[in-house]
Structure 1
């Protein structure tokens, strides 16, 4: 059904969002008192630069009336706003209480409610969202012939095999429904997507119900004046996925799991669980899906679902936490109707073993020295701690000399700066602080602030603002220690494969952490 001024007004009224409709000096709640009330909109947009004849424009964020200069000449049909903009345009205005909520609802309608034609799986948590996303897509693709779309903080994929770099962990609602429409038109049957706390904070997924949702874990993150003022607010936003799902998959060891279960019980949402039993099959929190190591080296894990052994798995992505993510993926596909008794389904589960995500737990060996570099997106206490746990578990017997190259984002998530230092300082030998994305905050101030959190007098520290130089310096220093017989481990975190840095709001070309390491190590693609 086409979206018109009349149908848009009805939908907004149903959700108690519509205040009134305004055009010039005429105010009313009845859309049929305005011209062309039943004429379908030709397009929806939140960018005035893309307005064309018949467009519905969402005036979101810090929108100013001067953005509408000349807009009537472009053929604007109507706009949605929280303020009256009739002084700047003759188009009809749908005045609403919340333009973000309105945009989500109306965009879904404009694109024909594509979510109704997909099994939509949403994944939230402080860490592990992206990896679990890719594992889940790989399994479903192997089972349904490549008909699973994906939205992630790394890439978006609407045809099951073509991946395009994404800008946001969870797309803006209009973009999300547009891509869902493309996915449906491409024959996709499933969509797996990351759902950030900000997605609920700013209503990017308002009105969207997930067929299955996963709540992986929770720990403090994204605490800042422009994100979440407190951990309680962050956690509350994360928890909103529970009441917007038909089934929930929950990490059995998730902090505050009891509260999440209360949310689910109040909403009548059934819950299944997953867990990692590093001490052996029967040594851990009981769960519906469990994974446990087959040997002391933790090179392979067994996974069982509801008591049924699914076989052993050897992932391309290293780290115990990735086997926990694999268990979450198994629980998700099972909750989505995947029959683990089906031999074809069991075979499809092994698609997780070949998943590789550039910039996540990528390991590189230097041929000129006893040096291992790991490039990862770790960026907060939990992920940095997990990364160092992995190094200790795998290489602790070699007493490695560990160098950490890191920065922290500007203008947001201020809590990460202290947490990265706290997680690492007593477990590493060398800390190099460097450039990471910023809007307005000077990077040198961020690095100096992080340096101020260092309390370990034995930790070597320095600030090298040029990120490429920082990585090259870490490698050169490691090579300088090659003769002492110790393994050198260089951890480069925060940017992964991203070939840009955000400097004062602009994306500036950057080689990419993994590519810098490859170049300096003189490695080819076979190193990945």
Structure 2
């Protein structure tokens, strides 16, 4: 059904969001007191620059009436806002208590509630969301013939095979429902999407019910004045996914798992679990889906569901944490209604083995020295520690010299700065602090703050602000040390992955990209990646 002023008012009233409707000097709760109450809106937008005849505009964020200058000439039909803007436009104003919640509800209606035509799978957690997302999509695509859409912090895909770089981990609600409609129109039957804590903090998924949700893990992150003031607030936002899902997949070893189970019990939903065992299948936390290594180097894993072996898996994305993500993906596919014991589903699970995610756990071998470079988006204590654990497990016997090239985002997640340094101390021999994205905070201040957290006298730490120079310096240094003592070197380049831009003082500045710099300096072609 088309979205009109009348149907929008009814929906907002039902959700206790509508305060009044205003046009010039008329104030009412009755939409039919205004012209065109039953005329369908032609478009919805939150950007005044895209307003066209018949548009409904959402005035979110730090919106000012001045932004509406000349808007009537472009045919604005109505606006939704928390403030009366009738002094700036003759368009009808739907004045609401919360414009973000209103935008989510009304956008879903405008696009015909596409979520009802998809099996929607939402994945949250501090680490592993993106990888689990891609693994789950790969398996579902193998089952349903590439009819699984994806929303992630790296890419969005609405047709099962075309990937477009994303701007947000979880899209703005209007964009999400627009892309869901595109996915349905492309014949998609499933959608897997990352759900960030901010998605609940700022109501990007308000009113959306997930057919299956995953809560992977939780550890302190995103604590800052502009994100979450405390860990409790961060966890509380993450937990909202449970009350907005029909089934839950939970990491068996997740911190605060008992509380999350209480959330599920209160919501009356079924919980299934997954876990990683460090040795045999019976040597760890009990879970419905488990993974465990089949060799001392942890280069391959067995996975079992409900006690039934599903085979040996050798992932292109290396590391124990990625096999844990694979177990989560199996649990999600199972919760979505596909039996891993079925022969076709069991074969489809191996689609995870070929998954590559740009800039995540990408390994490069130098052509001129015994040096391995690992490029990853690791950006907090948990993810940096997991990467160093992988190096220890896989290469520890060779006693490699480890160099870490990293920064930390300006203006937000200030807790990460000390966490990254703490993870590297006593485990790396060199730490190069460098450029990371920022809005207003000078990057040099971030790097100096991180340098101040270094207490290990045995780690060589310094600042090279130019990120390209920092990576090139790390490679030159590794080659020199290899030539001197023959000891292998491992360089961790973390935080940016394959992103070919830097956010500098609010502007996106072109950047070669960590993976491309390493490939160039190592004299490798793209085909080696």
**Equivalent residue number for residue 56 of structure 1:** 56
- Structure 1 residues 64-98: Cα deviation after superposition (integer angstroms, max 9, x where no partner): 11000000000000000000000000000000000
**Equivalent residue number for residue 496 of structure 1:** 497
Number of aligned residues = 528
**Equivalent residue number for residue 319 of structure 1:** 319
Tell me, in whole angstroms, the C-alpha distance in 1 between the residues paired with 2:453 and 2:342. 53
| 1:428-447 matched pairs, under 5 angstroms | 428-447=428-447
**Equivalent residue number for residue 510 of structure 1:** 511
| 1:137-176 matched pairs, under 5 angstroms | 137-176=137-176
| 1:306-455 matched pairs, under 5 angstroms | 306-455=306-455
Tell me, in whole angstroms, the C-alpha distance in 1 between the residues paired with 2:504 and 2:256. 37
CA positional deviation for 1:367: 1.2
CA positional deviation for 1:341: 2.1
CA positional deviation for 1:59: 0.1
CA positional deviation for 1:527: 2.0
Tell me, in whole angstroms, the C-alpha distance in 2 between the residues paired with 1:320 and 1:270. 27
| 1:68-467 matched pairs, under 5 angstroms | 68-467=68-467
CA positional deviation for 1:339: 1.5
Tell me, in whole angstroms, the C-alpha distance in 1 between the residues paired with 2:459 and 2:278. 31
Tell me, in whole angstroms, the C-alpha distance in 2 between the residues paired with 1:434 and 1:200. 31
| Mean Cα deviation higher: 155-164 or 480-489 | 480-489
CA positional deviation for 1:471: 0.3
CA positional deviation for 1:280: 1.3
Tell me, in whole angstroms, the C-alpha distance in 1 between the residues paired with 2:308 and 2:118. 28
Tell me, in whole angstroms, the C-alpha distance in 2 between the residues paired with 1:16 and 1:439. 36
CA positional deviation for 1:477: 0.5
**Equivalent residue number for residue 523 of structure 2:** 522
Determine helix, strand or coil for the equivalent of 2:76: coil
CA positional deviation for 1:225: 0.2
Tell me, in whole angstroms, the C-alpha distance in 1 between the residues paired with 2:257 and 2:440. 37
CA positional deviation for 1:279: 1.9
Tell me, in whole angstroms, the C-alpha distance in 1 between the residues paired with 2:299 and 2:491. 21
- Structure 1 residues 106-157: Cα deviation after superposition (integer angstroms, max 9, x where no partner): 0000000000000000000000000000000000000000000000000000
Tell me, in whole angstroms, the C-alpha distance in 2 between the residues paired with 1:416 and 1:342. 43
Determine helix, strand or coil for the equivalent of 1:177: helix
- Structure 1 residues 164-205: Cα deviation after superposition (integer angstroms, max 9, x where no partner): 000000000000000000000000000000000000000000
Determine helix, strand or coil for the equivalent of 1:393: helix
CA positional deviation for 1:426: 1.2
Tell me, in whole angstroms, the C-alpha distance in 1 between the residues paired with 2:495 and 2:370. 24
Tell me, in whole angstroms, the C-alpha distance in 2 between the residues paired with 1:24 and 1:526. 63
Tell me, in whole angstroms, the C-alpha distance in 1 between the residues paired with 2:4 and 2:427. 60
Determine helix, strand or coil for the equivalent of 1:240: helix
CA positional deviation for 1:525: 2.1
Determine helix, strand or coil for the equivalent of 2:509: strand
Tell me, in whole angstroms, the C-alpha distance in 1 between the residues paired with 2:430 and 2:341. 50
**What TM-score does the superposition give when structure 2 sets the normalisation length?**
0.99
Tell me, in whole angstroms, the C-alpha distance in 1 between the residues paired with 2:33 and 2:426. 70
- Structure 1 residues 454-512: Cα deviation after superposition (integer angstroms, max 9, x where no partner): 01111101111100000000001001111211111100000000000000111100000
CA positional deviation for 1:342: 1.5
Determine helix, strand or coil for the equivalent of 2:367: coil
Determine helix, strand or coil for the equivalent of 2:419: helix
Structure 2 residues without counterparts, runs of 5 or longer: none
Tell me, in whole angstroms, the C-alpha distance in 2 between the residues paired with 1:11 and 1:315. 47
Tell me, in whole angstroms, the C-alpha distance in 2 between the residues paired with 1:350 and 1:334. 14
Tell me, in whole angstroms, the C-alpha distance in 2 between the residues paired with 1:378 and 1:166. 18
Determine helix, strand or coil for the equivalent of 1:241: helix
Tell me, in whole angstroms, the C-alpha distance in 2 between the residues paired with 1:38 and 1:383. 52
Tell me, in whole angstroms, the C-alpha distance in 2 between the residues paired with 1:510 and 1:391. 28
- Structure 1 residues 294-335: Cα deviation after superposition (integer angstroms, max 9, x where no partner): 111111111110011111111000000000000000000000
Tell me, in whole angstroms, the C-alpha distance in 1 between the residues paired with 2:390 and 2:34. 64
CA positional deviation for 1:397: 0.7
**Equivalent residue number for residue 22 of structure 2:** 22
CA positional deviation for 1:21: 0.3
**What TM-score does the superposition give when structure 1 sets the normalisation length?**
1.00
Tell me, in whole angstroms, the C-alpha distance in 2 between the residues paired with 1:112 and 1:358. 33
Tell me, in whole angstroms, the C-alpha distance in 1 between the residues paired with 2:464 and 2:436. 11
